[in-house]
C-alpha cells in the first residue's frame, strides 16, 4: 500500500508555462515533505521541502503548496524551462526511512 | 567534492552468483541507506545504518545483506541474486536521520540478473 502517491506518471508542458506536479499521501503522521529531482543516469537530488506548519514554501521558480486537510501537496514550476525535464519524486521522512512516491516524468517542450 | 560513490554503475550477472555493490561517502555522514527503484514503485528502502556497526532492515530487505565496518562505506551484498532483484539501486547518506533535505544520493547501480 503506497503511502505517497503521484498519480500522473508523466506530464508535458510548453517552455515558459507553469508545471504543476501533484502528490497525495495517506499517513496523517507525515509532517515534512520533500521533492527530489532526478535526471537520467544520475541520483536524485533534493529540490525543495515543506513543513506541515506551513502551507507554502518558495524557492526561486519552485513553490510547494501543502493542503493538510486534503493530504495533498503540489510542486509549481514557473516558468518551466527545458532543463527542468526530469523525474520528480515526492517524499516524506518516517521513522528511519524516507517514503517516496513513484515519480512523475516532466517534459518541458521548447 | 562532496559525493556518494557507487560501484559498479552497471552489472549483468546470473542467478546465484554472489555480488557486492560498494558505496562510499566522503562527507563523514552517520546515516547511510540503500534503495531500489522499480517502475511505478518509487524508491524503496532496503537497509539503513545509523552509524558504524549499526544496521537495520528497511521495507524490502529479503535477499540482501549489508555491513558497516567503517563510517564511509556501506556495501550491499546479494548472496544469491535472483531475477526479481533486477533493479536500479541507489545508496544515500545523510548527516543524521531527521535532518530532512540532506539525503545525498549516489549515481545509481543498474543490476540485471539473468
Q: Which residue of A has its CA nearest to B10?
A: A41
Residue A67: CB partners within 8 Å, gap ≥ 6?
A55, A73
- pLDDT of the residue at B98: 54
Q: How far apart are CA B42 and CA B38, in angstroms?
A: 6
Residue B86: CB partners within 8 Å, gap ≥ 6?
B111, B112, B113
Q: How far apart are the first and last CA of chain A?
A: 37
- pLDDT of the residue at B39: 86
Smallest CA–CA distance, residue B103 to chain A, in Å, is 7
Smallest CA–CA distance, residue A40 to chain B, in Å, is 9
A-contacting residues in B 25-44 (Cβ below 8 Å): 33, 35, 39-44
Q: Which helix (H) or strand (E) holds B111?
A: strand B109-113
Q: 3-state SS string over B10-47? A: EEEECCCCCEEEEEEECCCCCEEEEEEEECCCEEEEEE
- pLDDT of the residue at B109: 97
pLDDT tens digits in sequence order for chain A, 110 residues long: 678 999 999 999 999 999 999 999 999 989 899 999 999 989 999 999 999 899 999 999 999 999 999 999 999 999 999 999 999 999 998 877 888 999 999 999 99
B-contacting residues in A 66-85 (Cβ below 8 Å): none
Q: Select the residue of A34, A42, A89 nearest B107 (Cβ to Cβ).
A: A42
**Residue segments in chain B with a per-residue pLDDT below the cut of 50:** none
Residue B68 sits at φ, ψ, to 5 deg, of: -140, 80
The three cell numbers locating residue B90: 541507489
Q: Select the residue of B42, B59, B107 nearest A103 (Cβ to Cβ).
A: B42
- pLDDT of the residue at A39: 95
- pLDDT of the residue at B101: 54
- pLDDT of the residue at A65: 98
Residue A39 sits at φ, ψ, to 5 deg, of: -90, 155
b/e for B82-112, b at 16 or more Cβ within 10 A?
eeebbbebbbbbbeebeebebbbbbebbebe
- pLDDT of the residue at B114: 95
Residue A16 sits at φ, ψ, to 5 deg, of: 90, -20
Q: How far apart are CA A103 and CA A100, in angstroms?
A: 8
- pLDDT of the residue at A60: 97
Amino acid at each position: 500500500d503506497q503511502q505517497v502517491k503521484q498519480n500522473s506518471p508523466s506530464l508535458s508542458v510548453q517552455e515558459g508555462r507553469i508545471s504543476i506536479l501533484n502528490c497525495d499521501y495517506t499517513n496523517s503522521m507525515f509532517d515534512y515533505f520533500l521533492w527530489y529531482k532526478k535526471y537520467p543516469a544520475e541520483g536524485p537530488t533534493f529540490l525543495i521541502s515543506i513543513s506541515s506548519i506551513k502551507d507554502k514554501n518558495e524557492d526561486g521558480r519552485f513553490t510547494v503548496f501543502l493542503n493538510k486537510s486534503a493530504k495533498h501537496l503540489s510542486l509549481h514550476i514557473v516558468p518551466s524551462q527545458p532543463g527542468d525535464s526530469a523525474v520528480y519524486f515526492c517524499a516524506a521522512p518516517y521513522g528511519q526511512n524516507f517514503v517516496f512516491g513513484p515519480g512523475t516524468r516532466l517534459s518541458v517542450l521548447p | 567534492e562532496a559525493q556518494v560513490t557507487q560501484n559498479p554503475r552497471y552489472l549483468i550477472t546470473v542467478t546465484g552468483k554472489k555480488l557486492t555493490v560498494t558505496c562510499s561517502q566522503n562527507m563523514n555522514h552517520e546515516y547511510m541507506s540503500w534503495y531500489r527503484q522499480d517502475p511505478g514503485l518509487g524508491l524503496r528502502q532496503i537497509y539503513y545504518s545509523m552509524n558504524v556497526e549499526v544496521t537495520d532492515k528497511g521495507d524490502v530487505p529479503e535477499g540482501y545483506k549489508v555491513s558497516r565496518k567503517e563510517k564511509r562505506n556501506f556495501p550491499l551484498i546479494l548472496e544469491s541474486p535472483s531475477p526479481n532483484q533486477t533493479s536500479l539501486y541507489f545508496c544515500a547518506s545523510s548527516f543524521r536521520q531527521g535532518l530532512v533535505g540532506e539525503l545525498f544520493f549516489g549515481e545509481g547501480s543498474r543490476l540485471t540478473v539473468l
